[in-house]
Amino acid sequence: MTELFVVGISWRTAPVAVREKLAFRDEELAGALQAMTAELPVAEALLVSTCNRVEVYGVGKSGADPTGPVRTFLAAQRGLAAADVADVLYDHRGTAAVRHVFSVASALDSLVLGEAQILGQLKAAYGVANAAGTSGPLLGRCLERAFGVAKRVRTETAIARGAANVSTVAVDLAKRVFGNLSGKSVLVVGAGKMSTLAARHLHASGAQHIIVTNRSPEKAEALAAEIDGIARPWADLERLLVDADVVISSTGAREPILTRALFKRVTKARRWRQLVVIDIAVPRDAEPAIGEFDGVYVFDIDDLEKVVAANLAERAKAAEHAARIVEHEAGQFEHWMRTQGVVPTIRALRERFARVADAELQKTLDQLARRDHTPAQQREVIQRLVTLVVNKLLHQPTIALREAPPDEAGMRAEILCQLFDLSPAEPGSAGDQNGGDEPRDPQPALDREIAEPAPSEERQ
């Protein structure tokens, strides 16, 4: 029987210096998947490669353990020896693999608990596997269910609520002041990484007018182009502050640039309209005293990180509930996988029964068509049809039961009772019509027909 497996490396097992050695570029994924399914004992495969993990989700070919070959394959693809990464690679099989996939999709295995990005990355990886022709029915069912589990976790728990990074918290704080950022003007002071991330989040939240100013004009222009903004000269800082609704500052200056003296002029010119100043610089760009002016709300990096810590603590509590959901869903999926092993038998059983019934039905229809029958004769013909079908279907099971060795007969009888929901009457019980006084005829007419091939069966 085939089973699901996972082989991979993540932030839990290795630092980025090691993870990046096994990383795949987007354009390499399809080729790697096709090579895996062609060269290894792998029937189905998906490869996800992000900054925090490189993992193969797959289905092994019948009777083979693919985890060792996949470990070697991942190392060889990156020009490494298998021994170089043996200690940081992990593998899971069966239910453990399903549980891992569900946990990853639900962001329970993420560096930032509850983050939403991994779900999109998994969906993209699934799309690549489908396009490459390496995703089959079992892996596809697992991934589709994983997406459903992730949706359930995000809906039924608080694991994704509350910002979990400084940039997103900055957006939340601005929203608390303005309610809606649509149409608000954002001034980005400096062109560093932190201010860029925060500006992206603000833009995505509806801030449509973004101005960038920086001491190096070329950096301001590059950042403005990235976030759909406009670059303005550093010399215009005071006027830009007057026009802004939200200020994000991260310049790397050694001394504050947003001073109390500057804001005394700015707030007067603004006529004390609300202004949110988000200072994510270290050392700080804004003097704390500017928060004393009416309408000015100042948040520094410590304020933002306190909110992040509180939100992550709430997510950790929610993770316990989410883990129970994942465990339940993994159990349900395991049950589904177990049932797939008997599907061919069920299909063959149905097809055999249908063939027997169809053959006898056709004979009966031919018989009825040859001459006219009274209603009583029609009933007799139809009754015989039913009897013949029953006899044929029960002939082989009856032979197998009667000819079973003594040590197996009871077990076979019990299995048949379970399969057909039977409650055989014991001799002398209410269901025994002879009451137990006289031995029952062990071979009544119908039973004889079952034990011996019916004439129509012999003719076939």
Residue-level pLDDT at 30: 97
pTM of the model: 0.61
Q: Give residue-wise pLDDT tens across range 295-331.
A: 999 999 888 888 888 888 888 889 999 999 999 999 9
HEC string for 93-158: EHHHHHHHHHHHHCCCCCCCCCCCHHHHHHHHHHHHHHHHCCCCHHHHHHHHHHHHHHHHHHHHCC
Query: In which element (H, E) is residue 343 found?
Result: helix 343-370
Give the C-alpha distances (Å, rounded to integers) separating 114 from 73, 373, 378: 31, 74, 70
Burial class (CB in 10 A: 0-12, 13-18, 19+), 372: exposed
Distance (Å, whole) CA 309 – CA 238: 34
Burial class (CB in 10 A: 0-12, 13-18, 19+), 137: exposed
Distance (Å, whole) CA 386 – CA 407: 34
Distance (Å, whole) CA 164 – CA 107: 12
List the one residue out of 237, 243, 249 whose CA is nearest residue 271: 243
Burial class (CB in 10 A: 0-12, 13-18, 19+), 158: middle
Q: Spell out the CATH class of 166-308.
A: alpha beta
| Beta bridge partner(s), residue 275 | 296
Q: What is the dihedral of CA 50, 55, 61, 65, to 10 degrees?
A: 160
Burial class (CB in 10 A: 0-12, 13-18, 19+), 189: buried
Q: What is the DSSP track for 8-72?
A: EEETTTS-HHHHGGG---GGGHHHHHHHHHHHSSEEEEEEEE-SSEEEEEEEEPTT---HHHHHH
Residue-level pLDDT at 276: 92
User: Identity (one letter) of the amino acid at 332?
Assistant: Q
Q: How many CB atoms lie within 10 A of CB 121?
A: 17
CA gyration radius for the chain?
Answer: 36
Q: In what order do the strands lie in the sheet with 209-213?
A: 230-232, 209-213, 185-189, 246-249, 275-279, 296-300
Query: Does residue 258 sit in helix, strand or coil?
Result: strand
Distance (Å, whole) CA 22 – CA 112: 21
List the one residue out of 119, 109, 115 whose CA is nearest residue 165: 115
Please check whether residue 230 is in contact with residue 211, taking contact to mean a CB–CB distance below 8 angstroms.
Answer: yes
Distance (Å, whole) CA 277 – CA 266: 13
Residue-level pLDDT at 346: 66
CATH number of 4-156, picked from 3.40.449.10, 3.30.460.30, 3.30.360.10, 3.40.440.10:
3.30.460.30
Give the HSE-up count for residue 291: Cα atoms under 13 Å, Cβ half-sphere. Answer: 10
Distance (Å, whole) CA 44 – CA 64: 13
Burial class (CB in 10 A: 0-12, 13-18, 19+), 304: buried
Per DSSP, 298 falls in state: E
Q: Give residue-wise pLDDT tens across range 24-33.
A: 999 999 999 9
Q: Where are the domains of the chain?
A: 4-156, 166-308, 343-459
* Low-confidence residues in the chain, pLDDT < 70: 1, 163-164, 340-344, 346, 425-460
Q: Is omega for the bond preceding 283 within 30 degrees of 0, making it cis?
A: yes
Just list the catalytic residues: 51
List the one residue out of 136, 131, 139 whose CA is nearest residue 27: 131
Please check whether residue 438 is in contact with residue 445, taking contact to mean a CB–CB distance below 8 angstroms.
Answer: no
